[in-house]
Structure 1
Amino acid sequence: MEILFGLVKTMRPKQWTKNLLLFAAILFSNNLFNFYLLKLSIAGFMLFCMISGNVYILNDLVDKEKDKLHPKKCMRPIPSGEVSIGQAIVFLFISVLSSFYMSYKIGFLFFLVGLIYFLWVTLYSFVLKHVVILDVMSISIGFVLRAVAGAVLIGVRISPWLLLCTFLLSLFLALHKRKSEMELILSGNKTSRKILEEYTPELLNDMLHIVTSSTVMAYALYTFTASHSIYMMATIPFVIYGIFRYQYIIHKKGLGENPELVLLSDKPLIIDILLWAFCCTIILYFI
């Protein structure tokens, strides 16, 4: 049981909150109360959690030695020795086959997007994370693929504006993650990321200024062009507050390296996200 717990832990359950993006399609396509499509989306969410979890296992296998140098990553099951390489490989093989088989059964296009996501993030683990600028953009593309997977799963068209907002918001999170990792180096801690040598605090700040402004503007433009534009604009303050609150947290509490912890632990931010989702639902379905 301890080994199984370690293997599940290696799949990063806390990171699975990112896969909630799959529900964007059913929410904004006015199908939230279609219970067949809702069950389909829930099944897709669970499968994508498995697929993304497989990527994390692969990533830990590749970065085992480097992660031993990191003050926090060294405590993960594979770098710490809690789970052996052989056990992780066998579990990964079974999990990959089962997750893609079930994805194929649920829908070919969903399977295809899931496969592209797996290959893309694998390419990121081996190549793209070592290329400056492309490393953070690759992370954002992974988020966009999640949103696309949710759309093809239920057979609807997702707004290009929402894809753009997803890309920019995830880029915002990725850049803050790099900035937090950079601060670890400046404080004297060792790091396993060579790519950080290509960045400077000034460069990251300049990039964040552009991306933060672009994210707010893109979402505002989406609300202007939405079918319920007059009322959807009422959700803009929630987006602005969420961005500001996130920046406040990472500057005051130093959690930018682990954005999933922020989403799971900060009550004001959780309430803001829930209020945003509630307002979107009311506007889209009842007004």
Structure 2
Amino acid sequence: MRPKQWSKNLLVFAALLFSFPNVTTDMIVHSIFGFFLFSLVSGTVYILNDFIDREADRQHPDKRNRPMASGALNPYVALFFGAIVLLFSIIMAFRFNGAFGALLTLYFVNNVAYSFRLKHVVIVDIMVIASGFVLRAIGGALVIEVPFTPWFLICTMLLALFLAISKRRHELMLLQENKTGHRKVLERYNADLLNQLNSIVTSATIISYALFTFTSGRTLHLMWTIPFVLYGIFRYLYLIHVEGKGGKPDKLLFEDKHILFTVILYALTVMIILNYFER
């Protein structure tokens, strides 16, 4: 179920972060609850992905060590366990909040469609990955019952596209000699295309976030967080193009101290600004 990758679900807390200074204990508890339900459902998606991709993963230098690909775990036992966890998670989500339960179900269906078909469709594959992050952000707002702005969702989508494109580029570079042996869709990509897509998305992300800070209806002092976004994106681009990383954004978050400190400082700055400078 890859708990190390559950850090992607921290996006559930984004709505909570921008709810300062009106955050209550119940909102914190509900966000934590939402985080764990997303983590459990995403864990079942990883089980399904590993089940479907177990033959292709054997061609990958890292993924061939995964339990099902390596033969250490019976694929059908894992699939049965995942079904039980999924059923439990969806039931708990609907009992907690009907809208959140429906969204969590949509998140799973979206990932199933990706696993069986959409991951083989060029461009669509990275857009589906990005949509998963948007659903996490919306889910975070639903569990604490706060509204979200279109700019917030656009920024989330663009940042997710940036990470998805970077992941594809890393896979392309890593599997240059046998790029179709792991993902068939890689034969339809090349480095120039992915670099151009990333250039478009990074520019749009920066502009959209800057507009968000001015049009969100909150204090204009949020503009002081723009440098953190700029540095975070520039640092990630450095890791992609110079260090040859970017295949595992969840891993980079904790391994690269520059990225980690930037995220922490960003979150603290947002809380301070909303707490002391809110109009």
Under TM normalisation by the shorter chain, which class is it? over 0.9
- Per-residue CA deviations over 1:209-242 (Å, capped at 9, x if unaligned) read 1001000000000011133443110000000000
CA distance in 2, matches of 1:12, 1:100: 19
1:89 equivalenced with 2:79 (yes/no):
yes
Amino acid at match of 1:52: S
The aligned residue for residue 7 of structure 2 is 17
The aligned residue for residue 249 of structure 2 is 259
1:201 equivalenced with 2:207 (yes/no):
no
- Preserved contact between residue 71 and residue 189 of structure 1 (Cα < 8 Å): no
Give the alignment of 1:83-122 within 5 angstroms.
83-122=73-112
The aligned residue for residue 267 of structure 2 is 277
Matched position secondary structure for 1:285: helix
CA distance in 1, matches of 2:175, 2:18: 41
Q: Could you list the runs of 4 or more consecutive aligned residues of structure 1 that deviate by over 6 angstroms after TM superposition?
A: none
The 3 A distance-change label for structure 1 pair 31 and 94 is farther
Matched position secondary structure for 1:172: helix
1:143 equivalenced with 2:148 (yes/no):
no
The aligned residue for residue 226 of structure 1 is 216
CA distance in 2, matches of 1:212, 1:266: 20
Give the alignment of 1:169-180 within 5 angstroms.
169-180=159-170
- Preserved contact between residue 144 and residue 163 of structure 1 (Cα < 8 Å): yes
CA distance in 2, matches of 1:155, 1:230: 24
- Preserved contact between residue 13 and residue 31 of structure 2 (Cα < 8 Å): yes
CA distance in 1, matches of 2:147, 2:215: 15
Matched position secondary structure for 2:175: helix
CA distance in 1, matches of 2:61, 2:151: 39
Amino acid at match of 1:69: Q
The 3 A distance-change label for structure 1 pair 215 and 121 is same
Amino acid at match of 1:278: L
**Shift of residue 188 of structure 1?**
5.8
The aligned residue for residue 76 of structure 1 is 66
The aligned residue for residue 176 of structure 2 is 186
The aligned residue for residue 32 of structure 2 is 42
Matched position secondary structure for 1:253: coil
- Per-residue CA deviations over 1:184-215 (Å, capped at 9, x if unaligned) read 23356774101011111111111111001000
How many aligned residue pairs are there? Answer: 277
The 3 A distance-change label for structure 1 pair 191 and 257 is farther
**Shift of residue 252 of structure 1?**
3.1
1:57 equivalenced with 2:47 (yes/no):
yes
**Shift of residue 259 of structure 1?**
1.2
Amino acid at match of 1:275: L
**Percent of aligned positions that are identical:** 47
The aligned residue for residue 161 of structure 1 is 151
CA distance in 1, matches of 2:136, 2:179: 33
2:239 to 236, 249, 258: 249
Amino acid at match of 1:23: F
- Preserved contact between residue 219 and residue 274 of structure 2 (Cα < 8 Å): no
> How much is the aligned-residue C-alpha RMSD, in angstroms?
1.4
- Preserved contact between residue 21 and residue 271 of structure 2 (Cα < 8 Å): no
**Shift of residue 250 of structure 1?**
2.4
- Preserved contact between residue 151 and residue 216 of structure 2 (Cα < 8 Å): no
